[in-house]
């Protein structure tokens, strides 16, 4: 039985277990990057370094949330197309989602870099903390496109019937970060810049893995050049499906910060 048939014929509870656990671990892995950075920065740099990483985190969360919006909306739409046995339609969604992710990543990065200091000050960076936050955030922002692709596109691997592979892919990133961060911080003495470099390198490797899945014959669906051109009907559907969890998650984060 191929993967498309398995998704249509396997018992719902079995599929629910096989797909839910990896999805939960994917969400956990996203938070691990920041936890790992704080642990190593705290030991190597001290309290000012931790403060700098913490101040930068809301900006990182915005870029992650936008990637998640596209990922959730696109993944749901791909699943619908596969259920309709419309492979071309599913590949159109993947191509458009990739283009949308790349364009929005570049726009968000540019805006964040333009309003760099005001944003950090708005989030509470003092004059002592500001240099640490700047050193960390500028590297993270330059790697936004890789983070967005690895996070946003990973759902498509799961949608076409590879939940375990999607889980392994996303967990690999934090593991690489945990290996590279102490080397850069303690071995090379690069401070918060080293922590940011470790995070971005791990995300670059994760993004390459996502592309490799779709471009090297491992997947049922492919990334095709003809589907990278924006299709506004598909873009609207991706946004409309992904908007609800996007605003719900951000409202929850705001409430948690307020409390």
* pLDDT one digit per residue (tens) for the chain, 259 residues: 444 455 555 555 554 555 555 556 666 666 677 788 888 999 999 999 999 999 998 888 888 888 888 988 998 899 889 888 899 999 999 999 999 999 999 999 999 999 988 999 998 888 999 999 999 999 999 999 998 998 888 889 888 877 778 778 778 888 899 999 999 999 999 999 999 999 999 999 999 988 998 888 778 889 999 999 999 999 999 998 888 766 655 544 444 443 3
Q: Quick one: which of 74, 147, 71, 76 has its CA closest to 108?
A: 147
Residues 167-205: b if buried by 16+ CB within 10 A, e if exposed: bebbbbbbebbbebbbebbeeeebbbbbbbbbbbbbbbb
What span, in angstroms and rounded, lies between the C-alpha atoms of 150 and 99?
Answer: 13
Question: What pLDDT was estimated at residue 257?
Answer: 41
With 0.85 as the threshold, say if the pTM is over it.
no
Residue 90's closest CA among 206, 248, 234, 242? 234
Residue 61 neighbours by CB under 8 Å, 6+ apart: 253
CA atoms within 13 A on the CB side of 206: 37
pLDDT, residue 248, reads 56
**141: closest CA among 177, 105, 95, 185?**
105
Q: In this structure, what token pair is assigned to residue 256?
A: 């948690």
The residue assigned the tokens 């850069």 is 184
pLDDT score, position 65: 85
Q: Are 93 and 238 in contact (CB under 8 A)?
A: yes
Q: Which residue has the tokens 């968000």?
A: 108
pLDDT computed for residue 16 by the predictor: 52
pLDDT of residue 250: 53
How high is the pLDDT of residue 104?
A: 93
Taking every pair of C-alpha atoms in the chain, what is the biggest distance, in angstroms? 61
């Amino acid at each position: 039985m191929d993967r498309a048939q398995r998704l249509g014929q396997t018992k719902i509870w079995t599929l629910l277990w096989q797909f839910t656990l990896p999805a939960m671990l994917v969400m956990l892995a996203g938070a691990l990057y920041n936890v790992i950075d704080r642990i190593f920065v705290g030991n190597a740099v001290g309290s000012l370094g931790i403060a700098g990483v913490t101040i930068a985190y809301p900006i990182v969360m915005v870029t992650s949330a936008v990637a998640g919006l596209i990922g959730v909306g696109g993944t749901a739409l791909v699943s619908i197309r596969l259920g309709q046995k419309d492979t071309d339609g599913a590949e159109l969604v993947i191509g458009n989602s990739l283009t949308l992710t790349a364009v929005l990543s570049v726009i968000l990065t540019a805006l964040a870099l333009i309003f760099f200091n005001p944003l950090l000050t708005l989030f509470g960076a003092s004059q002592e903390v500001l240099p640490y936050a700047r050193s960390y955030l500028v590297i993270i922002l330059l790697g936004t496109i890789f983070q967005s692709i690895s996070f946003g596109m990973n759902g498509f691997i799961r949608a076409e019937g590879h939940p375990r592979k999607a889980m392994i892919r996303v967990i690999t990133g934090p593991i690489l970060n945990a290996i590279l961060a102490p080397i850069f911080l303690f071995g090379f003495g690069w401070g918060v810049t080293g922590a940011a470099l470790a995070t971005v390198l791990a995300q670059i490797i994760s993004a390459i893995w996502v592309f490799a899945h779709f471009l090297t014959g491992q997947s049922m669906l492919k990334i095709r050049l003809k589907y990278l051109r924006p299709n506004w009907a598909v873009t609207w559907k991706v946004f409309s499906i992904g908007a609800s969890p996007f605003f719900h998650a951000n409202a929850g984060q705001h409430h948690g910060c307020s409390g």
